[in-house]
Structure 1
Amino acid sequence: MVMKPDTVSAPTSRDEVGRSANRLIRQLGLVRLLATFGFLVFALAVARYSPQMPLLGDAENAMYDMRAANFAKKVDQDPRILMVVYTDDTLIDTGQRSPVDRTILANALTNIDKMGAKSIGIDILFDQPQDDDEALKTAFRSMQTPTHVAYASNETNTEAIQFRQQQFLESFLKDITTDKTVPTSIRLITDADGVARRWPDQPKNLPPIMVRAMTPPNAAFADYRGAIRFRVPLSSDRPVINKLPIDLFADPASAEFVASEVKGKHVLIGGDFVDFDKFDTPLTRIGDVVTGESQMIGLEVHAHMMSQLLDNDQPYAFPAWSLWVIAVVVILAGFATAISQARAWIMGLLLGVQILFFITVPLILQYQGFDTLNLPSFGWATGWLLAYTSVGAAARVVGSKQRAFAQNALGKYLPRSVAAEILKDPDKLALHGEKREIFCVFTDLEGFTKLTHAIEPEMVALLLNNYLDRLADVVLQYGGTLDKFVGDAVVAFWGAPISFPDDGERAVRAAWAMYEAGEEFRRSAPEGVPPIGRTRVGVHFGEAIVGNFGGEGRIQYTAFGDSMNTAARLEAANKNLDTRVLVSREAAVRSGLDWFRPMGRIVLRGRARPVDIFEPAPDMPESERIRIGEIVAAHEAGDLDAVVNLTTQLEAMGQEEAIANLFKRLGQTQKGESYVLG
């Protein structure tokens, strides 16, 4: 019965960690190790800073647009804000395109001022002189409603305004500024891809941003730089922000009919032209299926910002430290997944969970109202993939080297089939030692030590290597484990690290084949080499401790114990008994072979317990093996007459050294006692 080993956990020490690190560096190589570390650092940077990186930033923006558009809040029309716009029809009617007709604006302002608006914001730059400037200035100076007039500088908006335009604009604003009419910044910013997603900063050289200036002070939005919360309408016929043409307010006849649209509202005045002041937004970037608009006018961007501010809708933004923590966790997950040796279904589950995390977590956060504008969601997946790939490549290099080393090492001691099984399932090779019942085989080359003194060292090496190669090939051919060479002696065993039902048969057949290989070696010796002795073999079955021993620095898979000692003494007994291969009863019975002849019962040198021994005789007729068995049985029964009678009948067999030695021993132990080797 095969005994299962006790599991022993060896304590981890600094020395062991150091040795493991040194071994890893040797197997991986310093250059590849540094490259792997560099990839991990890069992966961490990607997982943290991908929104700010080229190409990756574009992917992050696209993914954010998808989240923002799909989870945009659906609302009814905002009753607090009204947009009053110049349209292309207005330009056609007035015959002026740029700058726009200011008389219409002056008339509209005068009428709106009487309608009870909370505030007025004008998203039009007055940066060029016009004939009707005085009428507009008069309207601005007479405003009783808080009015905020657009200002921009060449420093912060070089494309929209030149230095001379800025000079005129500042002069114009200086002429109209009162306690009710003040300048305001209409600055909007876009990301590198030209999409307006976030609130603009507040440069010190600009007046307050228009939507902040027009609404009651809100400390939470004083320095807010996060995402603009664009909303979508509940139905296509009622936009989020109502929009009316400025012509209705410039004509006194029609103005009275729209007065109710102004009372108590924040009024934003600007242009709504086909090819001017248009912005991409997350809604239009992926296609606004509700309104059908391909872009949004700047005035409407301001309106959405104002609506967000009035709702105090400031989404929670992740602090920098939390993004670092998530990035580190993501990289560690990729690292751990790459080196994991879990079962396939567990690995599949882990990969599925991680992929699900990358896909769903950003969506869930957006849905729950978090600001995911700067969330490196695509960077998480990319960083994880970089970590997984780089560490996986390094692990494959180490694994390949370890496997090649293991296969090369195991192939020298184990048959290929056994080595392949161990490489598939390393647990089959005990790491510290276990009790196993094995077939032990010892060999020795008679007189080889004396021979070494008679020939040159080079010839000794040549002969010994040739001899050991022959016997090692036999061991592996019959599926044995090659334990060690001790000089000219070969130690092998069957039954570990993997046992098979026919281990006994293969062990005995291998023992006889090793003897025959030794005889072939003797016959093939070069000329001039003194006669070489024969190979003697001992085989025993019993319990031994088998496993890896010697420590991390010099490991050897070997076996030791009483059964190994017994096999060694059986091999040595061949010299006294004139036999070639001696097999104990325990091994012979379990071999399943019927080609043994009994060689009596002996007490091995240094042992007290007698051993029944047998010798393989595959070429001996079965009848002769039976007659020898009868003699040995009669001896054990103390039947001296039968022994003498049978021995006389087999005198011809006594000419063989081993049989003659057996008859001699039987005669010296007439009372059936065991023969004790001196």
Structure 2
Amino acid sequence: RAMQRARSDIAGVFVHATAVRNLIERDALTELGFPARTILTIAFALVIACAACMLAPSGALIAWFALTAIYAAVAVSAFVHAVALPLTEPALAGLAALAIMTGYRFVLADRDERFLRKSFAFYLAPEVIETMVTSGKMPALGGEMRNVTMFFSDLSGFSSIAETMTPGELVTLMNEYLSAMTDIIESHGGYVDKYIGDSIVAMFGAPADDPAHARNAVRAALKCHTRLAELNAGNPAFAGHGLSHRIGLNSGEAVVGNIGSRRRFNYTVMSDTVNVASRLEGANKYYGTAIMASETTMVQAGDAFAWRELDAIRVQGRGEAIKVFEPLADKGAESADQAKVAAAYAEGLACWRARDFAKASDAFGRVAEIDPASARFADRARALIADPPPSDWTPVHTLEGK
């Protein structure tokens, strides 16, 4: 046992020789005293605590690993130069500071921020909340010009349906409908500005910047239309009601921001772009369509969808005529009936604009049984055959109402 212990220990003569050599060459190893070690440990812990205050928990943990590695490298370099720095104490103190500050932030310091995010998530877009939290400032009146796509939807004939329902049934139905539509709008990057009864007002392109806002708005509108058909077919709250809705889309410049009075305001949008989108939603009833978009939206959406031009219309409150279009489906995904209707409708519309109302009536009549818009144009064409318009007639439909 004595021999095994001797082999594992350093012989005293080597210890003495090393001490004598260090004294002669004056390169003895220097170890920090207790006060210096304490100061170094506290300083390291303070740096980690500051990192934990400024960074997310995962970021603070990465910072601890990085700083510990850097400190270890410095300690090794110092040891080569005969200075022994403490390794364990600073690392453990830093880890303790990280745990304490993370716990403090979660329990106390971040409590108000979590409450703000959770509460206002029901009223504001996440981007608006993030701006409030980051800036630490209260929202103020003001806005900016943004290119956006406005989305207006409204249930058709809902007032008469609501009269036959109890308040409980009505609330259940509306909550189901609005929740389903809102989920689709928000999943495509839209922001629901407000609910007006059974109507939804939403915008794409603000508050979060979205270069593809027109494309996302059109895709959301198509998804909403499909989803309503699914609800009518499979949701008990919709059974027997056969709900249908109208959607209007328009893109353009708008003032977006906090708008209202000094005591109460909303994050909302204002401009003629908004008004036109609202008019297009109502214009669907003149054509029997579910979705109507302006030419601006159609152009900005690119070639991602199959479209048909519906008409040139003049909406209330706007003297200039605008061309309006109906999105049919994603490009290449339109059905055979949709392709057939679009071809016949385009032929009829061209004849209509050329004042050849007999050919227009024939073209529209070929698909009138499966397309309400064609049926209505066929009726209009037959009326003009019987009573030809004056020479200054223009193929623009002036809408009399909203």
Residues 606 and 419 from structure 1, CA distance in 2 versus in 1: closer, same or farther, beyond 3 angstroms?
Answer: closer
In structure 1, the partner of 2:374 is 659
State the alpha-carbon separation in 2 of the partners of residues 407 and 502 from structure 1: 29
In structure 1, the partner of 2:208 is 498
Q: Is the 8 A contact 2:153 2:246 kept in 1?
A: yes
Cα distance, 1:658 vs structure 2: 1.9
Cα distance, 1:603 vs structure 2: 1.6
Residues 478 and 340 from structure 1, CA distance in 2 versus in 1: closer, same or farther, beyond 3 angstroms?
Answer: closer
Q: What's the CA shift string for 1:623-651, capped at 9, x where partnerless?
A: 65344334334434xx223x533542453
State the alpha-carbon separation in 2 of the partners of residues 586 and 413 from structure 1: 28
1:510 aligns with 2:227: no
Query: Which of 631, 648, 669 matches 2:362?
Result: 648
Query: Which of 173, 179, 191 matches 1:469?
Result: 179
Residues 532 and 396 from structure 1, CA distance in 2 versus in 1: closer, same or farther, beyond 3 angstroms?
Answer: same
Number of residues of Structure 1 aligned to a counterpart in Structure 2 = 293
SS at match of 2:206: coil
Query: Which of 378, 381, 394 matches 1:672?
Result: 394
Matching of residues 270-669 of structure 1 within 5 Å:
397=108, 400-406=111-117, 409-410=120-121, 414=125, 431=140, 432-524=142-234, 526=236, 531-550=241-260, 554-592=264-302, 593-618=304-329, 619=335, 620-622=337-339, 624-636=341-353, 639-641=354-356, 644-645=358-359, 647-655=361-369, 656-665=371-380, 668=384
State the alpha-carbon separation in 2 of the partners of residues 469 and 491 from structure 1: 14
**Higher CA-based Rg:** 1
SS at match of 2:145: strand
The structure whose residues are more often strand, as a share, is: 2
| TM-score, normalisation: structure 1 | 0.38
Q: What's the CA shift string for 1:96-134, capped at 9, x where partnerless?
A: xxxxxxxxxxxxxxxxxxxxxxxxxxxxxxxxxxxxxxx
Q: What's the CA shift string for 1:426-458, capped at 9, x where partnerless?
A: 69x995211212100000111222222211111
* 1:575 partner amino acid: K
* Greater alpha carbon shift after TM alignment, 643-652 vs 656-665: 643-652
State the alpha-carbon separation in 2 of the partners of residues 395 and 560 from structure 1: 39
Q: Is the 8 A contact 1:436 1:543 kept in 2?
A: yes
| TM-score, normalisation: structure 2 | 0.62
Residues 467 and 551 from structure 1, CA distance in 2 versus in 1: closer, same or farther, beyond 3 angstroms?
Answer: same
* 2:325 partner amino acid: F
State the alpha-carbon separation in 1 of the partners of residues 133 and 113 from structure 2: 13
Q: Which has the higher contact order (CA 8 A, sep 6+)?
A: 1
SS at match of 2:365: coil
* 2:183 partner amino acid: D
* 2:321 partner amino acid: P
In structure 2, the partner of 1:10 is none
Residues 497 and 528 from structure 1, CA distance in 2 versus in 1: closer, same or farther, beyond 3 angstroms?
Answer: closer
Q: What's the CA shift string for 1:292-311, capped at 9, x where partnerless?
A: xxxxxxxxxxxxxxxxxxxx
The structure whose residues are more often helix, as a share, is: 2
Cα distance, 1:403 vs structure 2: 5.0
* 1:585 partner amino acid: E
Q: Is the 8 A contact 2:190 2:217 kept in 1?
A: yes
Matching of residues 3-402 of structure 1 within 5 Å:
397=108, 400-402=111-113
| CA-atom RMSD in angstroms | 4.0
Unmatched 5+ residue regions in structure 1? 1-285, 287-337, 342-388
Unmatched 5+ residue regions in structure 2? 1-32, 34-51, 56-99, 330-334
Q: Is the 8 A contact 2:233 2:239 kept in 1?
A: no
Residues 651 and 496 from structure 1, CA distance in 2 versus in 1: closer, same or farther, beyond 3 angstroms?
Answer: same
Residues 528 and 425 from structure 1, CA distance in 2 versus in 1: closer, same or farther, beyond 3 angstroms?
Answer: closer
Residues 407 and 632 from structure 1, CA distance in 2 versus in 1: closer, same or farther, beyond 3 angstroms?
Answer: farther
SS at match of 1:654: coil
Q: Identity, % of aligned pairs? A: 26
SS at match of 2:236: coil
Cα distance, 1:419 vs structure 2: 7.2
Cα distance, 1:512 vs structure 2: 1.6
Q: Is the 8 A contact 2:148 2:252 kept in 1?
A: yes
Residues 536 and 545 from structure 1, CA distance in 2 versus in 1: closer, same or farther, beyond 3 angstroms?
Answer: same
Cα distance, 1:605 vs structure 2: 3.1
State the alpha-carbon separation in 1 of the partners of residues 340 and 223 from structure 2: 23
State the alpha-carbon separation in 2 of the partners of residues 555 and 400 from structure 1: 26
State the alpha-carbon separation in 2 of the partners of residues 541 and 466 from structure 1: 28
Cα distance, 1:469 vs structure 2: 0.4
State the alpha-carbon separation in 1 of the partners of residues 345 and 130 from structure 2: 43
State the alpha-carbon separation in 2 of the partners of residues 652 and 421 from structure 1: 55
SS at match of 1:509: helix
